[in-house]
């Protein structure tokens, strides 16, 4: 065979291989869309795929999808009681279909609220322009996808008021041959100014998401440069500084039970209200100006699942200033522990798949009945979770000013629940096995300062009476002195209420 013939055969083989790879890539991408859009409405009754099209050719495709967000129109009437275990379409079935034809529900005192309807659902259409691999858009990938919102003439005109000629939201996604993808999301800067009302300026946002092929591992980095809001009526100014966040999450147990670590940082938050925030009534004293500055705000979170039990913790801390008072440190930390993962997922899925859980038309009598049926259906799972002694609470809320600090914490839990206890009604179970603990500590000088400020408007006793009031409270067993602080403790367990360690009641016995 001649050299030219060999090269010709080789070129033909490469062409066939490239064409086969391109066709395979197109098939894989189409399949991924089908799976993703098929699963989406199963996650919550608040998202529905209204319309979709997928126009494919050899080198690429165009996917257009319209989603409806919010309560479905049918949610004005109650869904069937079995809705939580059914598909989303069944979850919004009109209750009238379950009644005997010709029968009418008797009016009740709740019927006056039955006409209360949820907000009208919102529809969003987005278009994906897909280029098939193996060389898509000049890069080695199974596909490259460019996504954007699709707006009609009216929506486009409204969008241009905020974003100008820029596209409001766009995404560029690179899909790997293994099925994982990296997506760069951009929200355009926006600005709106209305005479006599105020101004709004948003500097946009950027995010990068990395998802594995199994759709169970997600990493993201997000940046929002800042935002400014000014209102003309009261001259209120809000300035939000740069915010960054990142996370590495594992959703193999379901995204409602995602584990991993996350962290974020807000450089600053400023609020300036020279005329106060609340409107003053007739004859009321002039509102005082308010200035708030929060700086170096750090947010952290972590969640784990061990031996089938879910635990999470989060913290929010920083420093700042309120008017002329410098806050050296503030911190809020909360957590949840020993939450049975399987039971929690079942409860959460049922709640999300029900329009009752979403609060759609919940004022009608039919919705109240359906909600009660949902609660009764989920009661066994709630009780099963109780055996693992679940606990949640505010671990610490601390404010430090001028070398002194105030602190508050509380927790709620179930402890020592047995199989015999699970036979009890829910309220009785809570009273006998529920545990509540709360602790508070406040510097006496802070109480005096608050009294001094409040006394000017007649809202609190004068500062000179504070010492006597604290002494009376201490003699009554409500608080006790601990150095320069006043502390109090409340505990409820085994049906017994204790205040600073002393029993004050006997409940549930």
- Across 6-10, 66-70, 279-283, 405-409, least confident range: 6-10
Mention every residue, 6+ apart, whose C-beta is less than 8 A from residue 465.
Answer: 451
> Distance between CA atoms of 144 and 473, rounded to whole angstroms?
69
Mean pLDDT of the region 342-350: 83
pTM of the model: 0.78
Q: Tell me which of 11-15, 89-93, 263-267, 389-393 is least confident.
A: 89-93
Q: 272-308, pLDDT tens digit by residue? A: 998 877 665 555 556 778 999 999 999 999 999 999 9
459 by Cβ neighbours in 10 Å (0-12 / 13-18 / 19+) ranks as exposed
pLDDT-wise least confident of 75-84, 153-162, 413-422: 75-84
Per-residue pLDDT for 95 more than 70? no
Confidence check: pLDDT of 374 > 60? yes
**Mean pLDDT across the chain, nearest whole number?**
80
Q: How confident is the model at residue 87 (pLDDT cuts 50, 70, 90)?
A: very low
pLDDT for residue 205: 95
CA gap 16, 23 in Å, rounded: 10
Residue 77 has pLDDT above 60, yes or no: no
- DSSP 3-state assignment of 323? coil
221 contact partners, CB below 8 Å, separation of at least 6: 207, 208, 244, 245, 246
What are the E-state strand segments in 307-378? 309-322, 325-340
Task: Give me the pLDDT at residue 318, please.
Answer: 97
Place of tokens 């399949």: 31
Residue 270: in which H helix or E strand, if any? strand 259-273
- Which candidate, 336, 310, 216, places its Cα nearest to that of 257? 310
CA proximity to 246, closest of 201, 284, 208, 197: 208
Alpha-carbon span 362 to 364, nearest angstrom: 6
Q: What is the pLDDT of residue 467?
A: 80
pLDDT-derived band at 88, boundaries 50, 70, 90: very low
Query: What is the SS3 assignment for 50?
Result: strand
Give the ranges where 44-165 is alpha helix by DSSP (H).
88-91, 153-163
The pair of three-digit structure tokens given for residue 269, joined into one six-digit string: 């938050």
Q: Per the structure block, which two tokens stand in for 182?
A: 């990296």
Question: What are 189-233's pLDDT values in tens digits?
Answer: 999 988 888 899 999 999 999 999 888 999 999 999 999 999 877
């Amino acid at each position: 065979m001649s050299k030219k013939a060999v090269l010709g055969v080789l070129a033909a083989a490469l062409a066939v291989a490239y064409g086969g790879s391109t066709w395979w890539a197109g098939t894989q991408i189409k399949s991924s869309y089908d799976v993703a859009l098929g699963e989406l409405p199963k996650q919550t009754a608040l998202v529905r795929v209204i319309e979709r099209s997928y126009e494919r050719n050899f080198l690429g495709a165009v996917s257009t999808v319209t989603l409806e967000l919010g309560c479905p129109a049918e949610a004005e009437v109650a869904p069937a009681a079995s809705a939580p275990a059914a598909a989303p379409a069944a979850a919004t079935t009109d209750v009238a279909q379950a009644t005997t034809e010709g029968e009418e529900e008797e009016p009740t005192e709740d019927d006056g609220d039955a006409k209360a309807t949820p907000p009208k659902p919102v529809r969003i259409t987005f278009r994906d322009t897909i280029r098939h691999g193996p060389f898509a858009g000049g890069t080695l990938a199974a596909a490259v996808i460019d996504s954007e919102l699709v707006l009609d003439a009216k929506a486009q005109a409204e969008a241009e008021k905020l974003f100008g000629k820029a596209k409001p939201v766009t995404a560029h996604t690179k899909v790997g041959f293994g099925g994982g993808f990296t997506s760069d999301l951009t929200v355009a800067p926006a600005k709106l100014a209305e005479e006599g009302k105020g101004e709004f300026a948003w500097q946009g946002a950027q995010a990068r998401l990395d998802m594995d092929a199994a759709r169970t591992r997600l990493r993201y980095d997000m940046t929002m440069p800042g935002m400014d809001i000014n209102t003309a009526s009261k001259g209120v100014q809000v300035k939000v500084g740069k915010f960054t966040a990142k996370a590495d999450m594992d959703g193999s147990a379901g995204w409602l039970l995602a584990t991993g670590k996350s962290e974020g940082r807000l450089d600053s938050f400023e609020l300036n209200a020279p005329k106060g925030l609340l409107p003053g009534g007739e004859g009321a004293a002039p509102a005082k100006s308010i200035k708030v500055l929060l700086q170096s705000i750090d947010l952290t979170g972590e969640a784990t699942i061990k031996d089938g039990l879910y635990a999470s913790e989060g913290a929010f801390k920083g420093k700042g200033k309120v008017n002329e008072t410098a806050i050296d440190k503030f911190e809020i930390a909360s957590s949840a522990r020993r939450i049975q993962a399987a039971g929690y997922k079942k409860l959460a899925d049922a709640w999300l798949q029900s329009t009752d859980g979403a609060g759609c038309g919940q004022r009608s009598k039919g919705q109240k009945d359906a909600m009660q049926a949902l609660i009764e259906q989920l009661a066994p799972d709630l009780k099963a979770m109780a055996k693992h002694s679940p606990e949640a609470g505010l671990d610490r809320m601390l404010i430090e000013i001028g070398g002194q600090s105030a602190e508050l914490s509380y927790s709620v839990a179930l402890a020592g629940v047995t199989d015999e206890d699970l036979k009890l009604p829910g309220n009785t179970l809570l009273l006998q096995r529920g545990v509540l603990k709360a602790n508070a500590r406040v510097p006496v000088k802070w109480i005096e300062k608050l009294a001094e400020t409040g006394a000017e408007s007649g809202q609190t006793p004068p500062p000179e009476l504070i010492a006597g009031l604290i002494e009376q409270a201490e003699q009554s067993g409500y608080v006790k002195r601990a150095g320069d602080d006043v502390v109090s403790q409340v505990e409820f367990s085994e049906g017994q209420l204790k205040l600073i360690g002393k029993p004050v009641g006997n409940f549930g016995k």
